[in-house]
Amino acid sequence: MEVARVMKQRPYHWLALIPPLGMLIGVPFVNRGRPHVFGLPPLMAWMIAWILLTSIIMGVIFALDRRDDS
């Protein structure tokens, strides 16, 4: 019989809230037509930046989880 392992909630798991909050809170501030950022409307550039930042933040959380497991 296999017992399910329960994940402990660690403080750095709260980092996962930063990307959705950044995407949602920043939208009213960047929802304009000009000036373009790298040829993109500001809203699109904002979303692309947060997609990249999300990957970085999730990588940090993954690295911290692996460090705690060893």
| Digit-coded pLDDT (tens) for 2-50 | 455 556 778 888 889 999 999 999 899 888 888 888 899 999 999 999 9
The pLDDT of residue 50 is: 95
In a domain, 35, yes or no: yes
- Residue 1 included in any domain: no
In the numeric block, the tokens 């809203």 are attached to 43
Residue 22 lies in a domain: yes
What is the residue range of 30's domain? Answer: 11-69
Is residue 8 classed exposed, middle or buried when 0-12, 13-18 and 19+ CB atoms within 10 A define those classes? exposed
**Cα–Cα dist 26/61, whole Å:** 23
Task: Give the pLDDT confidence score for residue 7 in this predicted structure.
Answer: 64
Domains held by the chain: number? 1
- Domain contains 4: no
User: 40 pairs with which residues across the strands?
Assistant: 37
Whether residue 57 is predicted with pLDDT greater than 60 in this model: the reply is yes
Establish if 41 belongs to a structural domain: yes
Q: Please give the pLDDT value at position 1.
A: 44
**In this structure, is residue 5 part of a structural domain?**
no
